[in-house]
């Protein structure tokens, strides 16, 4: 049985004046997959993800979510359909506690049913390892733990598609291993699109990898196929192992 597609694009293009950031991209993301999006700086990854989320309007082409054309929907409408993006929906409130940050995200989905909210907050904080810091002021967290809080707030939305943009940036090695375990635990619950420079993280977590270069898709394949792809090695992997 063919995999169900949760997200796809056809001819997706973005140009700024005479500069083409993304050019005619056809992209498919099967439901339930952990896909990594990689490529050198300036390859067009951020622009592409911005168009998926609705933060950036496309010059041409279409974005489909669960078979529906969402190209003209603003970001908040796409969130309501089940697309979560760490920098889109989870900007932390530095003056509030960790608990209240996550509670705000839960209330967006559940309303103010206090028992349900408290239950979900506790579940999410336990899952990301922040239960013992629940009452700590979010602004007092290290940068790495703020990233974990962002992920917690995204999980609180129970997204169908969770887009994680450079989630391991600023994390210590032990935190990175915990992040890898967390992402793997989400398999079957949500589809993951991971934009990441840390190739160790990519190779350990991704089922499939899409490589961007010069605003276009250079290659697609399993981690092993991408590792062995000479074009990818020349464009990216030769200098990205420690990026």
* pLDDT attached to residue 35: 96
Select from 180, 171, 160 the least CA-distant residue to 81: 160
Question: CATH class for domain 1-82+161-243?
Answer: alpha beta
User: What is the reported pLDDT for 2?
Assistant: 59
> Mean pLDDT across the chain, nearest whole number?
89
Contact predicate 195/41, CB 8 Å: no
Range 98-115 average pLDDT: 87
| pLDDT of 67 over the 60 cut | yes
Torsion of CA 80, 86, 89, 93, to 10 degrees: 150
pTM: 0.88
* Rounded average pLDDT over 2-22: 92
Q: Would you list the domain boundaries of the chain? A: 1-82+161-243, 91-158
């Amino acid at each position: 049985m063919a995999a169900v597609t949760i997200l796809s694009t056809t001819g997706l293009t973005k140009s700024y004046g005479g500069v083409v950031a993304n050019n005619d991209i056809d992209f498919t993301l099967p439901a339930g997959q952990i896909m990594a999006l990689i490529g050198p700086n300036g390859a067009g990854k951020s622009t592409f993800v911005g168009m998926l989320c609705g933060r950036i309007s496309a010059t041409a082409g279409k974005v489909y979510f669960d078979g529906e054309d969402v190209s003209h929907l603003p970001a908040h409408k796409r969130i309501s359909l089940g697309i979560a993006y760490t920098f889109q929906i989870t900007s932390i409130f530095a003056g509030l506690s960790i608990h209240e940050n996550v509670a705000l995200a839960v209330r967006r989905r559940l309303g103010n049913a206090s028992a349900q909210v408290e239950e979900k907050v506790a579940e999410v904080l336990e899952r990301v390892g922040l239960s013992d810091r629940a009452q700590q002021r979010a602004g007092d967290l290290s940068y790495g733990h703020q990233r974990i809080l962002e992920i917690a707030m995204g999980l609180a939305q129970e997204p169908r598609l969770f887009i994680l943009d450079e989630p391991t940036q600023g994390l210590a090695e032990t935190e990175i291993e915990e992040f890898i375990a967390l992402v793997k635990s989400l398999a079957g619950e949500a589809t993951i699109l991971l934009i990441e420079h840390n190739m160790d993280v990519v190779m350990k977590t991704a089922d499939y990898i899409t490589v961007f270069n010069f605003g276009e898709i250079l290659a697609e394949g399993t981690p092993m196929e991408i590792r062995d792809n000479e074009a990818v090695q020349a464009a990216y992997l030769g200098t990205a192992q420690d990026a």
